[in-house]
Amino acid sequence: MNIPEMAADTDARIIPIKGKPKSGRVWKTDKSKFSSMCQVKPLKLNWSKKLELRQERKNLLSHVSEIKERKQREKELWKQTRRENIERKRENEIKSEIVQVITNTAKLRRMRKKDLKMIRKRDTNPKPT
């Protein structure tokens, strides 16, 4: 009885016996080609299920975009109110400033550096509204 006949009867592949590798790495196995790997076909959906999933995805994306737009509008509104508050605060500071007009410019030469830092140029004539 030949070995191939016995293999045909038992329906098993004949695996050649190999000895210990020369490198000593017995845990390493022979590599197989990528094309010989078992390929699994993806599940196919019927047309109505595909359309349903597509519509669901479309609805989800539109909902996400609405949320993003709303957040963006809220952020823009917050930025706008913040700008207005800063502008109002600056205007109020200018209104509440105590102003002393220096007519004698010789005083400026006599002032110390600290005092000169405090001096700011301002337009004393308000803009007509």
Spatial distance between the Cα atoms of 61 and 74, rounded to a whole number of angstroms: 20
Say yes or no to pLDDT of 6 above 70: no
Say yes or no to pLDDT of 5 above 60: no
Which range among 53-67, 86-100, 103-117 has the greatest average pLDDT? 53-67
- In this predicted structure, what is the pLDDT of residue 66? 98
pLDDT tens-digit map of 7-20: 455 566 777 777 78
Say yes or no to pLDDT of 33 above 90: no
What does the angle CA 4 – CA 9 – CA 12 come to, to the nearest 5 degrees? 70
Among residues 100, 104, 89, 106, the alpha carbon closest in space to that of 122 is found at 100
| pTM recorded for the entire structure | 0.46
- In this predicted structure, what is the pLDDT of residue 37? 76
